[in-house]
Amino acid sequence: MSSTAAHWYDLFSRGARDWLRHNAKIREAVREQFPELVAGADVLTRPGSRTVRVPVRFLEHYRFRLRDTGTESGVGQGPAQPGDVFRRPGAPGSGEAGGEGGAGGGELEFVLEFQVDDIVDWMWEELKLPDLKPRLADSLEDDGVVREGWDKRGPMARLDRRRTLKEAIKRHAAQPDAPEGFSNEDLRFRQLAERKRPSTRAVVLFVIDVSASMDRERRKLAKAFFFWVLQGLRRRYTGVEVVFLAHTNEAWEFGEEEFFKATASGGTVASSAFRLAQRILDERYDPARYNAYLFYASDGDNFADDRNAAHDSLTELARCMNFMGFLETPQNHLESARSETGRLFRALEARGLPVGSYTVHKDADIWEAIRAFFQQQSAQAA
Amino acid sequence: MTVSDTSVQDGGLSQYRERIETLARRYGLDFYPVDFELVPKTFMMEVAVYGLPVRMPHWSFGVRYIYQYVQHRMGHSHIFEVVFPGNPNRAYLERGNSLSENTLVTAHVLGHADFSRNNALFARMQKEVGDRIVEQAAARAHQIEDAIRRHGQERVEAVLDAALALEQHIDLNQALRRPPYPEWLAPPETPAPTPFESRYGRLPGESGQAPPAPEPRRAPVPPQPEADLLWFIAHHAPELEDWARDIFLAVREESYYFYPVFACHIMNEGWASYWHARLLREADFLPQALYLEAIKAHSDVVRPYAGEDAVALTVNPYHLGFAIWEHVVERRGLATAFRIRAEEDDFGFIRNCLDEELAHKLKLFKYQHEQRGSRDERVVVGEAGIDELRETLLAPRFNYGAPRILAVEKGRDGSLSLRHDVASDRRGLDLARAEKVLQYIHRVWRRPVRLETVGPEGAPHTLSVG
């Protein structure tokens, strides 16, 4: 071996390779915690480059071991007398080399960073969620211009030189006596045609009931649901704008951060929020240019005297919406089927309007609700 | 003595090495040639972690590597040399060490080389695995990488998870290459007829027809409880594919190779330390400054962990082994020392050579580490006789440092029954970990797996997976 030659171990570390594999396994294991991670961060409207940092422990490769009895004996060295008591065992490191590399030592923790986009991709695989396709038949349309075919006449700016050259070569092959060069016969121009394109812009209205009965736990559920819905819609539309509304007996528009923190005392008048949503749509989002979605999270209570108002405003909204979803986080399990707002949405659904409702009691139900939503959407698109 | 000379590129180390080797032989050390190689620090760490220069890939090595790396960066760990016994031996020295350190390490390696050639346990295992284990392990590592390409990371990793988790579960009383179990039970011996039977066994006039031979019966699997779980799974798992069987057998073979290093740790390190000290002392050709520096490195290696007058709760094996060998040579002569290094392992070495006087001189004591809750822990120094002290030192080394687990039955449905030999340790297993190991096994055995052990109260407890 000459001193100049690089050895393979200068270029490649098996330890580092196996370490990376270990980290990959951890990443897989951490996937299970994603719902928690997502609920903890303001990830809804932030750009996709955001990351989530997760502290993790090393994986252990398990072996058969004797039970810990709480008292272990060992041999030490030094001027100690029988009966001496030490508080902490000092464990100096060892300079040992040999077959058994110790996996002992102190607890080490390290931090892994996850891209929010990666998390979303993984969840999509995990939940086997369908990718939404733009609905073509009844979807909104933008005007667009596409290239289509060639013509012998046209402005020089649209001259297709490649085509023209081909034509010239063909003509020379057919007429060997013809003079060299191009003739007007050879010219080919690109043609443009106007086409309708499905619109890729959407507005999503998230509406939450912030009356006292919606506690932290319920809002977390709502937030998780909103997050995944938004991710799904982002996959479908290139430009998604989000509007946050909260209501008690009146309704306000918020930014994302305040949205989940807002609490208010007061009654529950859902129609206030629906009317505000309608106004925002009318003022800012032309229904002819935007796909519109509305999601409403509530525990299902609504004042009885608001019943007719809520019904009318919701029906009106439904006409200019692609879809309206109702996420119900009921106070107790038995109530779920009979809540005021729940009945309202189900009535609309029965009339064939694009409306769905989902009942969620605990974290695990979120996935069912999300899957139900996306499957319903892809079924409608098909 | 042939050493590949060009492999050590250094200022003068190879020249000292030859003279140290000559000196060692004059003292009666007897070793196979040693291939020295100077390597970077990172490679030393890897070799210490994997146990072999090129070994199968597995994520658990990555964890050990990072521990080693952190220890190293914090300055707790310094690996001077790694030597792989064989013919030739392969020794790796750290490129960044000083000339004096590497001179010391060269002498140290010769001590290991002598030990591994002459110690009975090393010699037996060497005979089993052959003397080219480094090359074999590398070839198998490549085979496994190939298997990963063909069968996918997940599947190969599942097999390695199980095989490496059972690394210590071999039967050292069996040869590496074992014959298969007998397929049929030996027919029961028909006892010779007594005089009475031969006279009255038949009625008068009855023809002398022998009773029909009993039907041969299939031998149970295993015929007796089997401690070699790696071998048992390799040969009796219901649906193990060939490449997976190869992995189990590879882990098993490497485990045979590692056992002597494990079982002679104190002796072997002590022996090498004794000889590097002695050879350097006698090497009058070394410059004075280099000698002093080397001896300083020596005393760093063989000092007690906490220093002379402090209390440490672990014993430095280099220190303990070195002290015992000095004691043996001083009291019983060099010839006896050579005999002991040939015949014993750590069990015999500690029990026969660590006497009361030495234990007192080394200030060894036994302690109880009591843990009640995560915060409340204390260490109480106890009174212990020399026998108790020896056994406490040796306790972690029994049965390759693992609880005894036996395969007791392969059921008709292919299920696997394991039994923890509670009598050998009078303690239950760590049930959570045992369950995880059963899950590893289940993934390759692919039939239900159960394990009998005892629970925390000492009552029988059965874990089952699948």
Model confidence pLDDT, tens digit, residues B373-406: 666 678 888 888 899 999 999 999 999 999 999 9
Task: Classify the phi-psi angles of A67: left when phi > 0, otherwise alpha if psi is within -120 to 50, otherwise beta.
Answer: beta
* Inter-chain residue contact A77 with B365, CB threshold 8 Å: yes
**pLDDT on residue B231:** 97
Inform me whether the C-beta atom of residue B328 falls under 8 Å from chain A C-beta atoms.
no
Q: Does pTM top 0.90 for this prediction? A: no
Inform me whether the C-beta atom of residue A78 falls under 8 Å from chain B C-beta atoms.
yes
> Judged by CB atoms within 8 Å, which residues 235-264 of A form the interface with B?
none
**pLDDT on residue A130:** 61
Judged against a pLDDT cut of 60, whether residue B199 lies above it is answered with: yes
The pLDDT tens digits of the residues spanning B66-118 come to 888 888 887 777 788 889 988 889 999 988 888 888 899 999 999 999 999 99
Number of domains present in the structure of chain B: 1
**pLDDT on residue A1:** 40
What is the arithmetic mean of pLDDT over A267-295? 84
Residue B254 lies in a domain: yes
Inform me whether the C-beta atom of residue B67 falls under 8 Å from chain A C-beta atoms.
yes
* Inter-chain residue contact B46 with A13, CB threshold 8 Å: yes
Residue B230 lies in a domain: yes
Considering CB atoms only, which of B153, B165, B378 is closest to A61?
A: B165
The pLDDT tens digits of the residues spanning A27-56 come to 777 776 665 655 554 555 455 456 666 667
Judged against a pLDDT cut of 60, whether residue B449 lies above it is answered with: yes
Residue B214 lies in a domain: no
Inform me whether the C-beta atom of residue A97 falls under 8 Å from chain B C-beta atoms.
yes
Look at residues B160, B56, B232 and name the one whose alpha carbon lies nearest to residue B443: B160
**pLDDT on residue B435:** 94
**pLDDT on residue A137:** 40
> Judged by CB atoms within 8 Å, which residues 17-46 of B form the interface with A?
39-40, 42-46
Q: How many A-B residue pairs are in contact by the CB < 8 A criterion?
A: 280
Does ipTM exceed 0.90?
no
What is the arithmetic mean of pLDDT over B191-198? 82
Query: For residue B222, is the peptide bond before it cis, meaning its omega torsion is within 30 degrees of 0?
Result: yes
CATH architecture of the domain with range A199-381: 3-Layer(aba) Sandwich (3.40)
Mean pLDDT taken over chain B = 89
Structural domain spans, chain A: 15-62+108-123, 143-197, 199-381
* Inter-chain residue contact A69 with B427, CB threshold 8 Å: yes
Considering CB atoms only, which of A68, A74, A95 is closest to B313?
A: A74
Judged against a pLDDT cut of 50, whether residue A129 lies above it is answered with: yes
**pLDDT on residue B322:** 95
Q: B187 to chain A nearest CA, in Å?
A: 38
**The domain containing residue B446 runs over which residues?**
133-179+220-261+403-465
Look at residues B218, B182, B231, B237 and name the one whose alpha carbon lies nearest to residue B414: B237
- Confidence tier at B333 by pLDDT (50, 70, 90): very high
Inform me whether the C-beta atom of residue B378 falls under 8 Å from chain A C-beta atoms.
yes
> Judged by CB atoms within 8 Å, which residues 111-150 of B form the interface with A?
none
**pLDDT on residue A2:** 40
- Confidence tier at A197 by pLDDT (50, 70, 90): low
What is the arithmetic mean of pLDDT over A5-22? 77
Between these two residues, B27 and A266, which has the higher pLDDT value?
A: B27
Give the HSE-up count for residue A204: Cα atoms under 13 Å, Cβ half-sphere: 25
Residue B355 lies in a domain: no
Judged against a pLDDT cut of 90, whether residue B243 lies above it is answered with: yes
What is the arithmetic mean of pLDDT over B3-32? 77
A65 to chain B: which residues are within 8 Å by CB? 402-403, 429-430, 433-434
Judged against a pLDDT cut of 70, whether residue A243 lies above it is answered with: yes
* Inter-chain residue contact B63 with A99, CB threshold 8 Å: no
pLDDT more than 70, % of chain B = 94
